[in-house]
Amino acid sequence: MKRLSLFIITILLFIQGISAQNLDKSKKKEIYNPSDDAKVEIANAIRKSEIEGKHVLLQIGGNWCGWCIAFDEKVNSNDTLRTFMENNFIVYHVNHSRENMNEDVLVSLGFPQRFGFPVFVILDSNGNRLHTQNSAYLEEGSGHSTSKVLGFLKHWSPAALDPNQYEH
The answer on pLDDT for 22 being more than 60 is: no
Question: Which tens digits make up the pLDDT trace of 63-93?
Answer: 999 999 999 999 999 999 999 999 999 999 9
CATH level 3 topology of 53-163: Glutaredoxin (3.40.30)
| Residues contacting 113, CB < 8 A, separation 6+ | 60, 96, 106, 119
| Residues contacting 69, CB < 8 A, separation 6+ | 29, 31, 63
pTM, whole model, 2 decimals? 0.83
| Nearest Cα residue to 58 out of 68, 70, 66, 67 | 68
Q: How is the chain split into domains, by residue range?
A: 53-163
What is the mean predicted confidence (pLDDT) over 97-119?
A: 97
Residues 59 and 118: their CA atoms lie apart, in Å, by 6
What is the mean predicted confidence (pLDDT) over 131-147?
A: 96
- For the chain, give the mean pLDDT: 90
